[in-house]
Chain A
Amino acid sequence: MTIWDTFRVAIRSLMKNKMRASLTVLGVVIGIAAVTTMVSIGQSASALVQNQFMALGTNVIVVFPESQQRGGVRQALTVTLTAADSQEIAAQCDAVLATTPLVGAAGQLIYGNTNWNVNELSGVGSDYLIVRNWDMAAGDFFTEDDIKSGAKVCVIGHTVVTKLFQTGNPINQIIRIRNIPFRVVGVLEKKGVDMVGNDRDNLVLMPYTTVRKRLQGSNFDNVNAIFVSAVSPARMTEATKQIEQLLLERHGIEPGKTPDFRVQDTTEIAATLGIITGVLTLMLSTIAGISLLVGGVGIMNIMLVSVTERTKEIGIRMAIGASGNDILRQFLVEAIVLSLMGGLIGILLGSSASVGATLLINYFNPGQDWPIVISLPAAAVALAFAGFVGVFFGYYPARRASRMDPIEALRYE
């Protein structure tokens, strides 16, 4: 009996009891659909997290100032990092691509008779765009000359444009912050909201020197943080080490003493978040896997009923020359056909369910843009698993059928 014949016989047998076959298939459909959906949504979530980190800037390392210890007294947070540190990191560490100092400020924006409060008002360096992996939508970023002179120029985010200028062109317009006029030289590309829903486009950037001198009236060179981007993700650790070494040297910290800065690597956060989404995906898929197992038990149950019910048929087939293997194969293939059919339908259903769920999430969280991910490996694994479930749960009933005594099977009514 060829495999093709076996399949034909199996399908014909299943067709004789369509209702039962489809209910059995349904058990597997639900299991496979659940696995496919859960894995797809889980992957979509981790893709979202990854996108967020890409948006934050590629390979970003942040250097923060730390409290200093002098004479056993730990002082409150004093700003120990300087813009010179930033420039030296860029100049001396070969694993570093670009750096920018960051100075935080606050203030209301006024343009004509409208005003607006931004989330972030920062003074940054000219390499900011490289570090943050950002682009301009219109105009230009401020230049090294602007920084040197502390020019009263600024670059604004997309949200600020809509709030202050509506449809007008903001380039070369003057906005006032704390009564100081600033000229808008450029508009940043739209970035959307971050993971927790903060609008990343509601910001104003200006040269850090401008913030220090004009807004804060300070003559010191210190900054709130230094953003560094490494040459490549692979060289993050190397870059971190180089920065630490350089700053220890520059700040004159002796070995064994607490440094007055802290270097934070964003890949650590990304890795942690990746683990969280990974664990969540695993947990959900495990639950989904259990429903697949239940579907498998359903197949086994139906196959056992079917074997008992068809004892006479088995007897007839044996009497006219079917070997134990022929019978085993017939029932095994029936179980596999049931589970593979369930697997295929389940994958279709699960894929559309995950697309639907992603669309719903995006509908209720506008701006977050969950990526639509249909996990092909998950579908393949699910299908293979469905086949395995068929073999595993079909084998016992099939073996029972193949071991029947033909005389007793023929006598069965």
Chain B
Amino acid sequence: MALIELREVRRSYDLGEIQVHALREVTLNIERGEYVALIGPSGSGKSTLMNTLGCLDRPTGGSYLLDGQEIVSMSRDQRAKIRNQQLGFVFQNFNLLNRTTAVENVELPLLYRQGMTSRQRRRIAIEMLEKVGLGERLDHYSSQLSGGQQQRVAIARALATSPSILMGDEPTGNLDSKTSREVIALFRELNETQNLTVILVTHDPAVAKNARRKIVLRDGEVVADTPDIDIAMGALHREDDE
């Protein structure tokens, strides 16, 4: 059984008179340990797909099995629990809490877990920050860190709960090319050494190239699903020409 199984997943928004179909019948499987990039032009539905996969959003139709559990019929709180236990998020603008230290930020998801002492939380947070190379900056506030460092704190936070999937929404969008490469390398390393499933939404061909599987979306549909970057880029641009 695949880790993620999407069957004819639809998501439409009711804007009064018109209905916007952000996703039309997306069907795909993602196996444990895959490294997937979701690419597509703006408005293609890749963010909606990401939010759906991340259990932040609920599809209007279809079925989504995550590790065998049906997400579509879950309540808000059940999905919150899934997010806490199975998923780790990394965002384009880092989304760290301000006026909060790096280590406190990493502890945050553990706070919403039952039966964990503050000492355990602190130990895991420090371990994660050391893993992303920020062992020296535990007590720095987010505003005292560079963009790349902030994103690494965010990755440490996503990893703190030992999730099965790490999700990134344009994780390099706000970084310069050098730090961008470092962050990408970190994703790759996590995927390879820990068999962590990584799903990224990106505009950046360099990031997409790094992934082993590329899924191209357009108008709410999957138009290409390939390990080859050239085919993916071709699918992306061929549609542009039409």
A28 to chain B minimum Cβ distance, whole angstroms, is 25
The answer, yes or no, to whether A400 is at the interface (CB within 8 Å) is no
Q: Could you say which residues of chain B place their CB within 8 Å of the CB of A1?
A: 111-112
* B61-115 CB contacts (< 8 Å) to partner A: 76-77, 80-81, 83-85, 89, 91, 95-97, 99, 108-109, 111-113
Residues of B within 8 A of A326 (CB): 80, 112
Chain B residues contacting A406 (CB-CB under 8 Å) are 56
Q: How far is the CA of A325 from the CA of B84 in the complex (A)?
A: 14
> Shortest CB–CB separation between residue A11 and chain B, in angstroms?
13
In the complex, the answer to whether B81 meets A320 with C-beta atoms within 8 Å is no
| Chain B residue nearest in CB terms to A312 | B95
With a CB–CB cut-off of 8 A, which chain A residues contact B76?
Answer: 323-324
Tell me the minimal C-beta distance from A306 to chain B in angstroms: 14
Counting CB contacts under 8 A, is B195 at the interface? no
In the complex, the answer to whether B95 meets A321 with C-beta atoms within 8 Å is: no
1/0 contact trace for A306-344 toward B, CB 8 Å? 000000110111111111111000000000000000000
Please tell me if the beta carbons of A321 and B97 are within 8 angstroms of each other in the complex. no
Closest to B54 in A: A319
Please state if B89 and A319 are interface contacts (CB–CB under 8 Å). yes
Partner of A317, one of B51, B54, B108, B113: B108
Contact in complex: B108, A320 (CB < 8 Å): yes
Structural contact, A323 and B77, CB atoms closer than 8 A: yes
Task: Give Cα A410–Cα B51 distance, bound, in whole angstroms.
Answer: 11
Shortest CB distance B146–A (Å): 20
Are B89 and A320 in touch, CB under 8 angstroms? Answer: yes
Interface membership of B57, Cβ < 8 A: yes
| Contact indicator A407/B161 (Cβ below 8 Å) | no
Say if the beta carbon of A16 comes within 8 Å of chain B: yes
- B57 contacts A320, CB within 8 Å? no
Interface residue? B152 (CB, 8 A) = no
| A-contacting residues, B163-188, CB 8 Å | none
Least Cβ–Cβ distance between A411 and chain B, in angstroms:
10
Is the C-beta of A130 less than 8 angstroms from some C-beta in chain B?
Answer: no
Interchain CB contact under 8 A, B112 and A323? yes
B108 x A407 contact (CB < 8 A): no
Interface residues on A, range: 20 to 34
Which single residue of chain B is at the shortest CB-CB distance from A310? B97
Q: Residue on B with the closest CB to A16?
A: B99
A-B contacts, CB under 8 A, total: 62
Q: Interface of chain A, helix or strand or loop or mixed? A: helix
Report whether B81 and A323 are in contact in the complex, using a CB–CB cutoff of 8 Å: yes
The interface residues of chain B lying within 8 Å CB-to-CB of A324 are 76-77, 80
- Complex formed: what's the CA distance from A315 to B96 in Å? 11
Q: Does B157 contact A (CB under 8 A)?
A: yes
* Distance between A316 CB and nearest chain B CB, rounded to angstroms: 5
Scan A92-104; emit 1 where CB is below 8 A from any B CB, else 0: 0000000000000
Contacts of B157 in A (CB 8 A): 320
- Closest chain A CB from B115 CB (angstroms): 9
Binary flags per residue of A370-413, CB closer than 8 Å to B gives 1, else 0: 00000000000000000000000000000000000011001000
**Distance between Cα atoms of A16 and B98 in the complex (Å):** 10
Known: A16-B99, A326-B112. A321 touches B51 (CB 8 A): no
Q: Is the CB of B118 closer than 8 A to any CB of chain A?
A: yes
Whether A320 pairs with B77 at a CB distance below 8 angstroms is no
In the complex, the answer to whether A5 meets B97 with C-beta atoms within 8 Å is: no
- The contact of B112 among A16, A322, A407, A410, by CB within 8 Å, is A322
Q: How far is the CB of B56 from chain A (nearest CB, A)?
A: 5
Asked, given contacts A319-B56, A321-B161, A323-B81, whether A5 binds B111 with beta carbons under 8 Å apart, the answer is yes
Question: Is the CB–CB distance between B91 and A321 below 8 Å?
Answer: no
The interface residues of chain A lying within 8 Å CB-to-CB of B91 are 410
**Is there contact, CB below 8 Å, between A320 and B84?**
yes
A313 CA / B142 CA spacing, docked (Å): 14
Chain B contacts for A321, CB-based, 8 A: 80-81, 83-85, 109, 112-113, 161
A412 to chain B, nearest CB (A): 11
Residue A56 at the B interface, CB < 8 A? Answer: no
Those of A160-214 within 8 Å (CB) of chain B = none
**How distant is the Cα of A258 from the Cα of B172 in the complex, in angstroms?**
105
Task: Report B-chain residues with C-beta under 8 Å of the C-beta of A16.
Answer: 99
Does the CB pair B83–A319 fall under 8 Å? yes
Q: Which residue of B lies closest to A325 (CB)?
A: B77
Within 8 Å CB of A410, what residues of B? 56, 91, 95
* A407 x B118 contact (CB < 8 A): no
Contact A407 B85 (CB under 8 A): no
For the complex, is A9 an interface residue (Cβ under 8 Å from B)?
yes
Give Cα A179–Cα B51 distance, bound, in whole angstroms.
111
**9 more A-B contacts (CB under 8 A) besides A321-B84, A321-B113, A322-B112?**
A312-B95, A317-B112, A319-B83, A320-B109, A323-B81, A324-B77, A325-B77, A410-B91, A410-B95
6 tightest CB-CB pairs across the interface, nearest first?
A321-B84, A320-B109, A323-B77, A323-B80, A321-B112, A321-B83
7 contacts between A and B (CB under 8 A): A312-B95, A313-B97, A315-B95, A319-B83, A320-B83, A321-B83, A326-B112
